[in-house]
Amino acid sequence: RREAFHLASSWVDSMSPSSPRWDSAEAVASLMADLALRRAQLGELWRLRRGDAAGPASAEGLEGQLSGAGIDVSRALAALDELMPRAAASGAREADWRVLEAHARAEQAASRRMGGAAAFAAALALGGMAAYASQ
């Protein structure tokens, strides 16, 4: 319980002051989406560590993402060893793969948008410097 509270409060504390309020539908939806992603990541990492064939994400990549989100991966995997008969259930892995693949697509789209914005900003800056230099 204490760890779940700590994780939730860390997530809330990391929210920007300009973000929607915690009690807003957007913030709740964001928290639920993040929890679904972390559950899928942990489930897949647990399966990979138990010898299942590779899926859409590597064990190293999953571990890095989970650690980066503040999750104690060793403790989480130990807990899953005790609690995880559902992870072996038919269809659970495919459901996790869908979540992981959707997240990867969203990150790629965001990266492309950021790349386009960065290129636009660079072009704007270069144009401004060129105009300044020509004066």
Q: What is the mean pLDDT of residues 87-94?
A: 71
Q: Does residue 97 have a pLDDT over 80? A: yes
pLDDT tens-digit profile of 36-81? 899 889 989 998 998 888 888 999 999 999 999 999 999 999 988 8
Which residues have C-beta within 8 Å of that of residue 10, sequence separation ≥ 6? 70
DSSP structural state of residue 72: -
pLDDT tens-digit profile of 21-35? 656 778 888 888 888
* pLDDT for position 62: 94
* pLDDT for position 123: 55
* The token pair that represents 85 in the structure block: 């008969």
Q: Report the alpha-carbon distance of residue 24 to residue 118 in Å, rounded.
A: 30
Q: Please tell me the pTM assigned to this model.
A: 0.57
Q: Report the alpha-carbon distance of residue 69 to residue 63 in Å, rounded.
A: 10
Cβ(72)–Cβ(100) below 8 Å = no
* The token pair that represents 43 in the structure block: 């489930």
